[in-house]
Every structure is written in C-alpha cells, then in structure tokens.
C-alpha cells in the first residue's frame, strides 16, 4: 500500500514539475540530496547554509535557510525551486507560485520522507536508477547497523535541538527514529516532531544520556552540567544530525557509538 501511495505522489508531482537545468535549493538537506544523485551541476542557487559537499559553497547564494531572498531567487531565473515542508517560509513559496515559478515542496517528517524525497528527485532530475540504488543502499546500511545493538540495554536519551526555548525531538521526528535504531529510549512522549519541553520533566525522567545538536552547543553543555542529571552529555554536529539527507547514516553510526561505545562501528 505504501509503495502504491509513493508511486501516486511521484506521478502527481511529475504531472506539473519537469526536470530543468536551472534549479534552486532552499535547504541544506535538499542540496545534499541533489549532489548525492549526481545532479549538482543543475543547481544555480543554494542557501548560505548549504556547505556540503564542499562544491556547494561555490554556488550563488539566495539568502539563509530561514530567510531566503525572493528577489535573489527570481534574479537567478530558475526552472524549478525545491523547498522543504515546515521549513521554507510559506510566503516565499506562495509568491514564487504567483509569478509562475515552479516550486516543489519536499516532505519533512520521518526517515521515510528521506527515501521518498530521493526517489522523487531521481524522477525529476533524470537520476531514477541512481536514486533507487542509493535508497536501497541506505536502507540496507540501517538494517545492518540496527542489528548490531539488538538485545543490548537501552539507555534513556534526551535530545536537545534548541535551548531558548528548550526544544527536543518528539515521536514523529526522524531524530526519535534514530534513537530507536541506535538502541536507546527517547524520554519524550509527545507525538509532535519538535515540541517545546519542560526542564522539570527532563530532570524528573533522569536520562542516562543528553544529546545536543544546535548552534549554541557550548552554552548548552554548561547549562546541563549545573543540573547534574548525567555526566554523559554529548555535543554532536548539527550539520550531520539535523539535516534529513543521505548523511543520516553517518549520524546513526555516531549515535550508536555514543549510546553503545562497546559496539565496534566502521566509520
């Protein structure tokens, strides 16, 4: 059933989006996916935060991930602009559509969205075979990695995404899925993806491990240390952990090493 739904969605998007030679990416994860599919040459514009792979840094910038410039996008005369659900400002998407610039909004939910987005981009960018192979490879790697922690004790984990306010990962986020795959238990019960969380609830839950993946990591570590909840406070690279891209495999490997240092993981 899920495969049928994916096929229908792809067919729907293809009906109004055609592969172009001038594409703009409005999110680092999108840029990484386009390059992973071997279509980086089609990108004529990216955000200032699009820094991977290194070649992406050379592309013209259209503003930041949070505040893309409408004028900069239009000036680059794109055939297609690729945005990210719940991330790209809606007013930018709306204004682009009003002047008949094609906008594709990719899903931004769990791990399944990453696979669906790669397959969809493969269709649009004429990289369908590469996309299918990449998705299969990534899914197989996840299966192999998750088997290595099967049966091990599961530490309780709190994952901090933001500090002002305190934002964490709920059960509909791919971060929650990563915790499960790495052999841990997310202390957060909320079903929303990234809820604002109560500090008292964290203290009450007494997590074994605190993961921090945001821009204010140094401040965050000092913040958690004063509460003496746990000595296991880990600062991880937000670029790797907070982008729903093929590098999610790298994030999972690092997370397994944090939760289960006794497990040998090939880097």
What domains does the chain contain, in order, with CATH numbers?
A: 2-130 (3.40.50.1980), 146-259 (3.40.50.1980)
Residue 222, pLDDT score = 82
Residue 214, pLDDT score = 72
H helices within 53-210, ranges in order?
70-75, 90-98, 111-124, 128-147, 174-181, 199-205
Report, in angstroms and rounded to the nearest whole number, the Rg of the chain calculated over CA atoms. Answer: 19
Ramachandran class of 162: left when φ > 0, alpha when ψ lies in -120 to 50, beta otherwise? beta
Mean pLDDT of the chain: 92
- Measured CA to CA, the distance from residue 169 to residue 201 in angstroms comes to 14
pLDDT of residue 176 exceeding 60: yes
Residue 15, pLDDT score = 47
Residue 75 to residues 15, 70, 259, Cα–Cα distance (Å)? 26, 9, 47
Residue 62, pLDDT score = 98
pLDDT of residue 12 exceeding 60: no
pLDDT of residue 7 exceeding 80: no
DSSP 151: T
- Measured CA to CA, the distance from residue 239 to residue 251 in angstroms comes to 10
Residue 18, pLDDT score = 54
Query: Which comes out higher in pLDDT, residue 267 or 12?
Result: 267
Residue 16, pLDDT score = 46
pLDDT of residue 60 exceeding 90: yes
The model carries a pTM of: 0.90
pLDDT of residue 152 exceeding 60: yes
Q: What pLDDT band is residue 267 in, cutting at 50, 70 and 90? A: low
Segment 46-68 mean pLDDT: 97
Give per-residue pLDDT as tens, 80-123. 999 999 899 999 999 999 999 999 999 998 999 999 999 999 99
Q: Measured at the alpha carbon of residue 108, what is the angle toward residues 213 and 159, in degrees to the nearest 5?
A: 25
Give per-residue pLDDT as tens, 195-252. 999 999 999 999 999 999 976 667 787 888 888 899 999 999 999 999 999 999 999 9
Q: What pLDDT band is residue 14 in, cutting at 50, 70 and 90? A: low
Residue 4, pLDDT score = 54
Kindly state the percentage of the chain with pLDDT values over 90.
Answer: 82
């Amino acid at each position: 059933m899920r495969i049928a739904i994916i096929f229908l969605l792809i067919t729907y998007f293809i009906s109004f989006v055609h592969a172009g030679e001038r594409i703009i990416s409005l999110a680092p994860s999108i840029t990484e996916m386009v390059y992973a599919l071997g279509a980086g040459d089609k990108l004529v514009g990216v955000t200032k935060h699009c820094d991977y792979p290194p070649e992406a840094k050379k592309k013209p910038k259209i503003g930041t991930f949070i505040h893309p410039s409408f004028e900069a996008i239009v000036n680059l005369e794109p055939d297609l602009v690729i945005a990210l659900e719940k991330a790209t400002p809606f007013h930018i998407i709306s204004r682009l559509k009003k002047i008949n610039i094609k906008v594709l909004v990719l899903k931004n939910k769990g791990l399944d969205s990453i696979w669906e987005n790669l397959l969809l981009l493969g269709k649009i960018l004429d990289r369908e075979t590469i996309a299918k192979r990449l998705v299969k490879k990534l899914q197989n790697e996840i299966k192999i990695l998750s088997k290595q922690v099967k049966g091990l004790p599961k530490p309780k984990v709190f994952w901090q995404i933001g500090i002002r306010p305190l934002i964490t990962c709920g059960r509909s986020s791919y971060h929650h899925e990563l915790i499960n795959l790495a052999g841990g238990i997310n202390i957060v019960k909320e079903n929303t993806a990234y809820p604002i969380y109560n500090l008292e609830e964290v203290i009450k839950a007494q997590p074994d491990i605190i993961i921090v993946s945001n821009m204010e990591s140094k401040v965050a570590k000092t913040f958690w240390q004063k509460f003496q909840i746990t000595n296991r406070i880990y600062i991880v690279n937000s670029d790797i952990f907070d982008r729903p891209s093929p590098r999610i495999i790298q994030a999972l490997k690092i997370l397994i090493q944090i939760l289960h240092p006794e497990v040998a993981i090939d880097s």
